[in-house]
Structure 1
Amino acid sequence: MVPPRIPPGGRRELGLIGWLFCKLASRIAGVPEMHLFTVFAQHRRMFWTWAPFGWVLLRRGRLPGRDTEVVILRVGRVRNSEYELQQHRRIALQRGVDLQTQAAVFAWPAADRLSARHQAMLTGVDELLTTRAMSDETWQRLAGYLDRRQLMEFVMLVGQYDALAMWLNTLGVPMDYPD
């Protein structure tokens, strides 16, 4: 992992509202500091634009939470984003993705424990990450499980967490939980 290139900020770097937001987020997560936020919020305009978008994809989207976490875990695994994986392994458990399913997501395509729905989703994730597009065959498979808005959201979810993984890995954002 890259050492922190931009260290987490404090009240001065984050501004009062950003600092309070980060403190509240840390308390909710049960960690001393949410480093994703204390680094990101140093670019206030970008952070306050991104935060609602990320929240919608994570908690208010059209995809069921279990599907959202399967997608995020796969992106985190393919992109070697330890920060993303550390956060979303925990969230996935809360959203019904047990450890065996998580292991199958990480082992994909060599795993056979996944539902046909999740196999189609992981095929879509891998295609998007590899080719930046999706084949007609995979699109049709996914369309058998997802409606039009869910399909649009699926592609955006993969793109959002791909970009976030790149950002986390490049900036060397420190882990939140001691392992």
Structure 2
Amino acid sequence: MARIPYFDLEKAPESYTRLIASRPPLNLYRMLPHAGKAAEGFLALGGAILRENTIDAKLREIAILRTGILSGASYEVHQHKRVARSVGLSDEKIAALEKNADRSALDETETMVLEFTDQLVLHVKAPDAMFEALCARLSQGQVAELVLVIGFYMLVSRFLENFEVDIEPPRTIE
């Protein structure tokens, strides 16, 4: 159960409700308005990360799921397993993202993204060799996007966990 009541969306600013109008009815969107105007910036950055990037969606979802797993964010992991499947990530690859899991389902680039995510979440900065290897495989812009993905979903995970946002009942989101 959430630590504070969800925001009454009927009292949310019109500028906020307009931003969530086409989105699924997630509890996250019912908690965010407590943050005031920052909630709108949060939604704008999240939307850009999910819809206006050049990084492959499967690699993005690997980074998001691993960040959620390392952060202990069950809501985030629950939601993004659905998203990961929708962009074509197999159940075997999703399972490989768990702590201490067999990674044999992942290809070389996916493994690099997983290890890069681990470094950023756990140690802030990737070692030079890892960074250079990733830059040899992805464009500089895609590496920049990946860093933003990981950082943003660390924020999301911490928000969700600190407010104990509830996972929606089954079939709320199809």
Q: Decide: shared fold, TM above 0.5.
A: yes
1:42 is aligned to 2:34:
yes
Q: Which moved more, 1:83-92 or 1:102-111?
A: 102-111
| Residue in 2 that maps onto 1:79 | 71
Where does structure 1 lack aligned partners over 5 or more consecutive residues? 27-32
| Residue in 2 that maps onto 1:160 | 152
Query: Quick one: which of 95, 100, 110 aligns to 1:103?
Result: 95
Cα deviation code 1:50-107 (max 9, x no counterpart): 2111111111112111111111011111111111111101111110101111001224
Q: How does 1:129-140 map to 2 (within 5 A)?
A: 129-140=121-132
| Residue in 1 that maps onto 2:110 | 118
| Residue in 1 that maps onto 2:84 | 92
Query: Quick one: which of 155, 162, 166 aligns to 1:174?
Result: 166
How big is the shift at 1:43?
Answer: 2.5
- Equivalent residue letter for 2:144: M
| Residue in 2 that maps onto 1:18 | 16
Instruction: Report the secondary structure of 1:168's partner residue.
Output: helix
Distance 2:16 2:130 in 1: 41
CA contact (8 A) 2:96 2:106 kept: yes
Judged with a 3 Å threshold, the aligned counterparts in structure 2 of structure 1 residues 70 and 177 are, in CA distance, closer, same or farther, namely: farther
CA contact (8 A) 2:95 2:101 kept: no
Cα deviation code 1:13-66 (max 9, x no counterpart): 42344345445423xxxxxx3111111023331011121111111111121111
Where does structure 2 lack aligned partners over 5 or more consecutive residues? none
| Residue in 2 that maps onto 1:30 | none
Judged with a 3 Å threshold, the aligned counterparts in structure 2 of structure 1 residues 177 and 65 are, in CA distance, closer, same or farther, namely: farther
CA RMSD of aligned residues (A): 1.9
Instruction: Report the secondary structure of 2:13's partner residue.
Output: helix
Distance 1:64 1:72 in 2: 12
Percent sequence identity is: 21
Distance 1:37 1:111 in 2: 33
CA contact (8 A) 2:65 2:97 kept: yes
Q: Which moved more, 1:6-15 or 1:52-61?
A: 6-15
Query: Quick one: which of 5, 9, 19 aligns to 2:3?
Result: 5
CA contact (8 A) 1:72 1:161 kept: yes
| Residue in 1 that maps onto 2:58 | 66
Structure 1 segments, 4+ long, off by >6 Å, are none
CA contact (8 A) 1:57 1:157 kept: yes
What TM-score do the two structures reach when normalised by structure 1? 0.87
- Corresponding residue pairs, total: 171
| Residue in 1 that maps onto 2:135 | 143
- Equivalent residue letter for 2:8: G
